[in-house]
């Protein structure tokens, strides 16, 4: 085992779970939650902070500030604590309580916005608050995960090569779409690879990232209430949108087999298994990326009262997710074609 002196020096990127025995389709899940930040966001956070340090943007007197629904905020809190920076995370009411407490335990300040933006989300409200802070005091440094190329470069350098080294015959890759940093980094890498790989983006119903109709989204992580500035759809072959009820069922289905994953992972796996159920999978090699683990969702996705209040008494229903309940939410398209909802 490695010996480290900083928490961001450790990140297990070689663990995959074979989900075929759970879902009955060939799917490997790349687990990105085994680090001290607990999610894939550690990679982007580290890349963006180190780039800002190299460029002289981030100095000992700086105050880091970032808009985050949770996981990036935790990653930046951990790095800020390690490097002795001050950090303010601007989040919203959907951020899990355990996530907010974790950021505060690491010494960060957390500001929660409550006003919805025009698309029924909180993202623009959070961003406007960050911009106002930066305008009021030049000590604030906003890394801007939504526009920072370090977000996708982190995955071009790490996540995609880790997948490629384990699966040299990869056919299809399922990637959740939030800021689209992971999606764009992996898609760019595999566009230059020795064989074609189908890139399938998995989004949440209610997200407008790919031109969908805005709607209520209660599970933080994936989905956007604006078009992601980092997104280049010419790298994306297909988009799947997943209902939150299906995210929840998938999370519980995996938990009943001993794998406790978070909401973003449940969304990606739900979309991937739906796609695989409708395609000829003989000889196919398929990988999905699991951004997070499930401990931070114990008071939401895994809490019965929360589920019943928001989704009704029958959200979990049967352990078996029928094709009808999962809805067939995907639509194929060719690279560079218009957005799908």
Burial 76-104 (b: 16+ CB within 10 A, else e): bbbbbbbbebbbbbbbbebbbebbbebbe
Burial 26-48 (b: 16+ CB within 10 A, else e): bbbbbbbbebbbbbbbbbbbbbb
Give domain status of residue 2, yes or no: no
Q: Is 136 helix (H, G, I), strand (E, B) or coil?
A: helix
* Domain's final residue, options 113, 142, 171: 142
Q: How many independent structural domains does the chain possess?
A: 2
Residues 222 and 304 grouped into a single domain: yes
Give domain status of residue 1, yes or no: no
Say yes or no to pLDDT of 64 above 60.
yes
Tokens standing for 185? 């980094």
pLDDT at 1: 60
Domain extent for 270: 7-35+149-332
Least confident range from 2-11, 44-53, 115-124: namely: 115-124
Residues 173 and 267 grouped into a single domain: yes
Predicted TM-score of the model (pTM): 0.90
pLDDT category at 329 given cuts 50, 70, 90 is: very low
pLDDT at 221: 80
Give domain status of residue 337, yes or no: no
pLDDT at 266: 97
Residues 263 and 317 grouped into a single domain: yes
Model confidence pLDDT, tens digit, residues 173-221 = 999 999 999 999 999 999 999 999 999 999 999 999 999 888 888 888 8
- Per cent of the chain over pLDDT 70 is 92
pLDDT at 115: 82
CA distance 107 to 89: 11
- For range 154-173, the mean pLDDT: 98
Q: What is the mean pLDDT of the chain?
A: 90
Give domain status of residue 341, yes or no: no
Say yes or no to pLDDT of 91 above 50.
yes
pLDDT at 337: 38
Higher confidence at residue 249 or residue 123? 249
pLDDT at 326: 37
pLDDT at 247: 96
Residues 24 and 122 grouped into a single domain: no
- For range 92-119, the mean pLDDT: 89
Residue 316 belongs to a domain with what CATH number? 3.40.50.1100
Eight-state DSSP code of residue 8: G
pLDDT at 54: 96
Say yes or no to pLDDT of 40 above 70.
yes
- Per cent of the chain over pLDDT 90 is 81
Say yes or no to pLDDT of 81 above 70.
yes
pLDDT at 334: 36
Say yes or no to pLDDT of 258 above 90.
yes
CA distance 42 to 202: 20
CB-hemisphere CA count at 13 Å for 100? 15
pLDDT at 218: 87
């Amino acid at each position: 085992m490695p010996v480290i002196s900083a928490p961001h020096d450790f990140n297990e990127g070689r663990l995959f779970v074979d989900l075929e025995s759970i879902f009955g389709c060939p799917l490997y899940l790349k687990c990105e939650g085994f680090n001290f930040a607990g999610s894939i966001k550690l990679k982007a956070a580290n890349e963006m902070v180190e780039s800002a340090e190299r460029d002289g943007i981030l100095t000992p007197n700086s105050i880091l500030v970032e808009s985050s629904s949770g996981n990036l905020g935790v990653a930046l809190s951990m790095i800020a604590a390690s490097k002795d920076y001050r950090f303010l995370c601007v989040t919203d009411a959907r951020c899990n309580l355990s996530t907010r407490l974790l950021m505060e335990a690491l010494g960060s300040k957390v500001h929660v916005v409550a006003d919805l933006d025009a698309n029924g989300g909180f993202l623009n409200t959070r961003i406007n608050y960050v911009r106002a802070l930066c305008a009021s005091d030049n000590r604030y440094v906003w890394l801007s995960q939504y526009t920072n190329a370090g977000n996708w470069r982190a995955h071009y350098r790490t996540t995609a090569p880790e997948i490629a080294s384990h699966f040299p015959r990869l056919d299809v890759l399922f990637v959740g779409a939030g800021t689209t940093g992971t999606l764009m980094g992996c898609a760019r890498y595999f566009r230059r690879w020795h064989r074609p790989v189908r890139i399938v983006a998995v989004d949440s119903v209610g997200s407008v990232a790919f031109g969908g109709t805005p709607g209520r989204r209660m599970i933080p992580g994936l989905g956007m209430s604006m078009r992601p500035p980092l997104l280049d759809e010419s790298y994306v072959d297909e988009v799947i949108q997943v209902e939150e009820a299906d995210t929840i069922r998938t999370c519980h289905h995996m938990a009943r087999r001993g794998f406790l994953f978070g909401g973003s992972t449940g969304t990606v796996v739900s979309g991937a298994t739906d796609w695989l159920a409708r395609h000829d999978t003989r000889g196919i090699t398929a990988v999905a990326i699991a951004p997070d683990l499930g401990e931070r969702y114990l008071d939401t996705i895994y809490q019965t009262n929360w589920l019943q209040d928001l989704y009704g008494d029958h959200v979990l229903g049967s352990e078996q997710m029928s094709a009808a309940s999962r809805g067939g939410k995907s639509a194929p398209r060719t690279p560079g074609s218009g957005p799908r909802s």
